[in-house]
Structure 1
Amino acid sequence: MTSHIRGQAAVDQLLELLDLRQIDPATFQGDSPKTGAQRVFGGQVAGQALVAAGRTVDPSRLVHSLHGYFVRPGDPTVPITFHVEHIRDGRSFSVRRSTAKQHGKTIFFMSASFQVPEEGMDHHTPAPTDVPEPEDVPTMRDWVERYPDRMALFKAAPQAVDVRYVGVPGWVPPGDREVQPQQRVWMRFDGKLPDDPLLHACALTYASDLSLLDAVLSTHGEVWGPGGMIGASLDHALWLHRPFRADEWFLYDSVSPSASGARGLASGRMFTRDGRHIASAVQEGLLRRVGG
């Protein structure tokens, strides 16, 4: 996915990445975009792993949780092979294990659980009320125009998602950052997605890796890149609570409860514009000072 492609064209290219080639009933293969990145974006391999798992499950069963570990950096120049293990098919739940490999080695593995829709108790904590609407906060292009020397970081970011920080992006220079107790970001896929619930779940998985670790940096007023930190995702968990569309605005409200040992933990809640809590994510990342 080249960096100058945006909007529906970028979304269509992402859909091509998620449309894995089926090798046999339990094996799939996918590619990475040609962006010049040195490693595969974690949200991409997680989303593709969920596609592979979901294709082995009855479509009436919807994914409700996934837990993944990033084991090795992915090589964007060669295809990724996904093997799906059938762990269990019960009356209400199906569980799959999806393993991504390159060069004969595992780069990522995920367990995912799918459930037949059921009725039950329903409650959730309320969404934040002191947050401006997505139309009222700067776009990523607004930030790049303000900090053109950071354009390379923007170009390397996935363009299929419209990301709008309520606060300050994690790559803004250190002198212009301040401590923030949380990181709030409006997101939506910048084009129309098909109606398939599995695709929306995979798209949300993809997006959930975009800004979550920024919450660790904002707690310390730190920054990605020169003068700050470098990092990598170690593991990632996502719970899907309610129906949603990933091509409609949702607020990603994230905090960092702990950081130590060069690792930072972040948790995030996702809310629709009308305040429905649609998903929760937790991620731990490796965070080291540049040049350290």
Structure 2
Amino acid sequence: MSKRVTIFEPPPLDNSKAAIENVLDLTPISDIGPDVFTNTRPLWHPPGARGIYGGAVIAQCLSAAQRTVPDNFFVHSMHCYFVLAGDSEIPIVYHVERVRTGRSFATRTVQARQRGRPIFTTTLSFNAANSGGKKRLEHDSKMPDTPPPKNISNPPEAKSPFESQRLDDSPYLTSDEVNIEDRKFRQWIRIRGKISEQGGHQAHLSAFAYMSDSYFIGTVARLHKIPRFSSPTALLRALKALKNPSDVDSEALSRYFEELAEEEAAEIRASSLNGTLTTNKLSSIIKRKDNREIGMMVSLDHTIYFHNPQALKADDWLLASIDSPWAGEGRGLVTQKVWNRDGVHVATCVQEGVVRLMQDEDPAPEAKL
């Protein structure tokens, strides 16, 4: 019997929605329970990754939980743990538990499961709009003085579900005069197209959750000026794989990850003399003089604080400032502050992940993940 990548046959794409809304669409499984959902469409497994793109599971868990709270409740925090690598060739089932619903706050937990085992778990807290009263304590982080990209056209037919524009020089060229913990990586991000009226503000929040996992734990390696690919062979293999994307992927996601890998390759090419991608050429770039190479880099947890969810519009430019205050013990911590174009601090994200270097000898069995 052949494996199905979704439980139900996916419907045609809804052209009235943004591409990301189609990517994150959920289907209720009423035969199992009232708060059980599954991915409507196949999810992407990036070449070289241990599993499906984490942002998709984060976003779909949020979408599932949002379906179980009153319309005037908006998420203000979600705390996530990646448990097992997700398999793109079998469906995901999302189980929502209604832990508590009060007058001002509601709590939900969501487990994403495959083969009956949890691959991802999250606890979310929702806050009723305007429940803080008229008198409030307020302060905010100031947005860096950085104007949005001048090219503000956002055609819905563009080839990736979201786009980004980096503001800093290539991380491989970052000045050594700046301490690693003080370096910042900044980019403008937004989804392509326009969120539909049907999707409403909940779709904006889910779309942002999807984007929040892009360029996150990889910041640790960037700030140390170590490419994410552990060897020239690994990079060439990933680029070759991207030329033949999986037929279970949506066209938009496939093209997005093509751009992602090409951007990484372009950074490396920029450090070479003639831009030719060969194993010998990459050896001198990827394998540094200190012989530091990334052996493993995977996310362990992911937290999002939605400070002002109603001011967060995922289809308009958002400025993300990303840094890493700490790395050690084979792990790294990364924080991300996000403002809208009006300077409102709309969210803060935190992620910890495994960041291990290639060792001279294989680690002991108990040291492996």
Amino acid at match of 2:305: W
1:141-194 residue CA offsets vs partner (Å, 9 max, x unmatched): xxxxxxxxxxxxxxxxx9311011112566xxx5x5655611111101111112
CA apart distance, 1:55: 0.6
Residue 45 of structure 2 contacts residue 52 of structure 2 at CA under 8 Å; is this kept in 1?
no
Deviation per residue, 1:33-64 (Å, 9 max, x gap): 35664621000000001111111111110111
Per mean C-alpha deviation after superposition, the further-off stretch among 15-24 and 196-205 is: 15-24
Answer yes or no: is the 8 Å Cα contact 1:67–1:238 preserved in 2. Answer: yes
Q: Which residue of 1 aligns with 2:150?
A: 135
Task: Identify the residue that residue 102 of structure 2 maps to in structure 1.
Answer: 90
The one-letter amino acid of 2:71's match is P
| Distance in structure 1 (CA, Å) of the matches to 2:116 and 2:333 | 30
Partner of residue 192, structure 2: 190
TM-score, length basis structure 2: 0.65
Aligned residue in 1 for 2:23: 17
1:17, CA displacement in angstroms?
2.9
* Greater radius of gyration (CA): 2
Residues 273 and 36 from structure 1, CA distance in 2 versus in 1: closer, same or farther, beyond 3 angstroms?
closer
Kindly report which structure 2 residues correspond to 1:49-68, keeping only aligned pairs within 5 A, or say none.
49-68=61-80
Identity value in percent: 33
Equivalent residues in 2 for 1:92-241, closer than 5 Å: 92-118=104-130, 119=133, 120-129=136-145, 131=146, 133-135=148-150, 159-168=160-169, 181-195=183-197, 196-225=200-229, 226=231, 227=286, 228-229=293-294, 230-241=296-307
Question: Contact 2:44/2:88 (CA < 8 Å) preserved in 1?
Answer: yes
Unmatched tracts of structure 2, length 5 or more: 1-13, 152-158, 232-285, 287-292, 361-369
Question: Using the alignment, how far apart are the partners of 1:89 and 1:95 within structure 2?
Answer: 6
User: What is the Cα deviation at residue 244 of structure 1?
Assistant: 1.5
Q: Distance in 2 between matches of 1:178 and 1:42?
A: 31
The one-letter code sitting in structure 2 at the alignment partner of 1:19 is D
CA drift of 1:231 comes to 1.3
Aligned partners of 2:163 and 2:192 also within 8 Å: yes
Q: Is 2:256 the partner of 1:247?
A: no
Tell me the amino acid that sits aligned with residue 102 of structure 1. Answer: Q
Secondary structure in structure 2 of the residue aligned to 1:135: coil
Q: Is the 8 A contact 1:86 1:96 kept in 2?
A: yes
Find runs of 4+ consecutive structure 1 residues off by over 4 angstroms.
34-38, 176-180
TM-score by length of 1: 0.81
Written as runs of structure 1 = structure 2, the 5 A alignment for 1:273-284 is 273-284=341-352
The code of the aligned residue for 1:194 comes to S
User: Does the C-alpha gap of structure 1 residues 103 and 43 become closer, same or farther in structure 2, counting only changes over 3 Å?
Assistant: same
Asked if structure 2 preserves the Cα contact closer than 8 Å seen for 1:177 and 1:222, the reply is no
Q: Distance in 1 between matches of 2:170 and 2:201?
A: 30
Matches of 1:194 and 1:182 in 2, distance apart?
33
Residues 1:29 and 2:33 are matched in the alignment: no
Q: CA RMSD in A?
A: 2.4
Higher percent of residues as strand: 1
How far has the Cα of 1:29 moved from its partner? 0.4
Deviations 1:221-270 (A, max 9, x none): 22211334241110000011112200100111011010011111001100
- In 2, are the aligned partners of 1:254 and 1:269 still within 8 Å (CA)? yes
Q: Distance in 2 between matches of 1:178 and 1:223?
A: 16
Deviations 1:53-102 (A, max 9, x none): 11111111011110000000000111110000111001111100000001
Equivalence for 2:10: none
Q: Which residue of 1 aligns with 2:282?
A: none
Distance in 2 separating the partners of 1:197 and 1:291? 47
Gaps of 5+ in 1: 1-7, 137-157
